[in-house]
Structure 1
């Protein structure tokens, strides 16, 4: 797996019709733990993440649509890893440790992701493609913008940021057109990877200029990212890709507001913390000021203003209440124990509460996994990491819905 990375993890997507799979492959030796707080989870191998269990390493994390049916995507990931000899050593050969989590989307009643979908997503990750919101393009390791926005003051396309103006993939550009944006830079209002269906997901800043609904983090410029129906290619936009392809939010109000997949990253002393979130929440997604990000429809107050926090539309469970769940993966390059990872997962759930209201309902299967890749050996205060993880997960949740198209 050569090329830029999300810290040191890779990911790939398979996107189908209103559903999908996202596979995250951390480097060997990654320590992991996690916690479920939602009342209706769909997970696989989660008991292994308990700090009291024997195995402290994982080989893959699978996020999918399709609820319990979608957990079958992990079988395809298992097959790919087994072919590569990856897994926990046993006398019978290595057994891949693959943790899976699913959201409930419309594919439950149609064609949920299966082992083939999981296999394709894993192969996309193994191809060396950096983590994105669409199966191609943007690396987000290190300090992407030198402490500034991606699109200004030393950003990806500015010659002073992550790739220094040469393009992400060794001078060829993400889409083979010479630069990160292929057409004049990320801030130029063009495709992030020089073509529809090839773009990457920016993190923690402004890409297209302007201010998006997530409090100043406009995830795409004028064009979309990869991940349309039928696979890792096609035309799709940030958020509606991979496991986030069929996601929605705001269902406690009796409506379907945007959901999706988002990523974010922050510094934490000598280390960094990244987060990947799939937002399919029963509650509202909240902006940084605590207000719901989407306006109330006609009949629920002034449609030009967000509905008030805590004001439900009435009993909605029968129609919308059971198709939910928000998932997150926290990744840090700090060296942590399994117990430390568990504490970061708990703090990730605090990020849910910052960015979703209400969070952790009986109708959600909310779950967080933490991966510690361990490249940074300098001491890092675990509680600093926890505080940063909270904010990074909240950032990723808002990023997931910042471009609802």
Structure 2
């Protein structure tokens, strides 16, 4: 049985009580942002594995630091410029009275991570504060759209042999109910590496073969002696969130975020490269009222994240003149 295609992983991160998701998709060029709202507050952790991250408010997630809850996580395109969208999320939350009480003031805590999508279209257009606010306005507990929307709009994968041979990435989600708790994932896949199905070892989306345009393994090509061109640092990045309704501490959330990276490693090759800023957040709303079993969560989290990665590229749509998505290749075959 292919566990990564198991029907039990067919849900969405919004299956987790207390979690809402909203996309903002820019219409002027392929970019956007996605907000994961937990307005009432959630314990949180983060694990950064890539060598070129773009993040905000990650230091406060260290278990040794005093802030105990966050109110949203933002995933955004636009590289470092896209971090500005987090200001719009904070403003939306403040207007509704969400945040840490500091005297008469409410200060929303909004960690964020960005991916690099500037080469796709006019790089001067990127998510800003208004985009983050709009994503919050669109947020709901319904299952979010997947593919070329929100933070996944301008995502690409398979860039080791250059952008001209890459394919479209996207954003995906999945969830599972196990051991009395719900665990969900959402991820924007914008990797240097190729995305493959670990159940079948098939490359779904990645470096295209110059001869026929079909996806192939860049790693296999390198092992055959092909030499990839030089890539500029920080030109990719996969970013995502795991969320559960279990009761977890910040330290446990940090461990859960680390388990999410195992899901990236099972579906993206190569992963955590010098050119990626791969970052995974973990949220625990505690709404289920049950203490989290970290062994159980550690077993399931990589599979939920892996399923979300596969869903992201399967739903991706090519946006001319950007590279095609896997869905176009499936339709054409």
**Fold-level similarity (TM above 0.5):** yes
Given that residues 12 and 131 in structure 1 are in contact (C-alpha distance below 8 angstroms), is that contact kept between their aligned partners in structure 2? no
CA apart distance, 1:124: 1.4
Could you tell me whether the CA contact under 8 Å between 1:295 and 1:303 is conserved in 2? Answer: no
In 2 relative to 1, CA 59–380 (structure 1 residues): closer, same or farther, beyond 3 Å?
closer
Tell me the equivalent position of 1:399.
311
What's the CA shift for 1:295? 7.2
Residues 381-396 of structure 1 aligned to structure 2 (within 5 Å): 381-396=293-308
Is the 2:44–2:250 Cα contact (8 Å) retained in structure 1? yes
Separation in structure 2 between the aligned mates of residue 401 and residue 244 of structure 1, nearest angstrom: 10
Q: Which residue does the alignment assign to 1:375?
A: 287
Q: Does 1:315 align with 2:329?
A: no
CA positional deviation for 1:308 = 6.3
The alpha-carbon deviation at position 30 of structure 1 amounts to: 1.2
SS of equivalent residue, structure 2 residue 101: coil
Select which of 202, 216, 230 maps to 1:291.
202
SS in 1 for 2:285: strand
For structure 1, the residue ranges without an aligned partner over 5 or more in a row are 134-237
| Cα 1:321–1:7 shift into 2, 3 Å | same
1:113 maps to which residue?
127
Task: Return the alpha-carbon distance in structure 2 between the equivalents of residues 105 and 24 of structure 1.
Answer: 20
Higher strand share: 2
SS in 2 for 1:97: coil
**Residue from 143, 155, 160 that aligns with 1:247:** 155
CA distance in 2, matches of 1:90, 1:43: 24
**Structure-to-structure mapping, 1:164-313, within 5 angstroms:** 238-254=146-162, 255-288=165-198, 289-294=200-205, 297-299=208-210, 306-307=216-217, 309-312=219-222, 313=226
> SS at the partner of 1:276?
strand
Match of 1:168 in 2: none
- The answer for the alignment partner of 2:90 in structure 1 is 78
Does the alignment pair 1:346 with 2:258? yes
Q: What is the aligned-residue RMSD (CA, Å)?
A: 2.1
Q: Flag the structure with higher helix content.
A: 2
Give, in whole Å, the separation in 1 of the partners of 2:122 and 2:107. Answer: 29
Instruction: Quote the Cα distance in structure 1 between the aligned partners of 2:313 and 2:215.
Output: 17
Deviates most, 288-297 or 60-69: 288-297
Deviations 1:82-139 (A, max 9, x none): 11111111125111001111101026822111001111111111xx452412xxxxxx
> Distance in 1 between the 2:74 and 2:214 partners?
38
Distance 1:75 1:296 in 2: 35
Cα deviation, residue 381, structure 1:
1.8
Q: CA deviation at 1:45?
A: 0.3
Contact 1:292 1:307 in 2 (8 A): yes
Report deviation, 1:329. 0.2
- Match among 242, 254, 260 for residue 330 of structure 1: 242
Q: Number of aligned residue pairs: give it.
A: 294
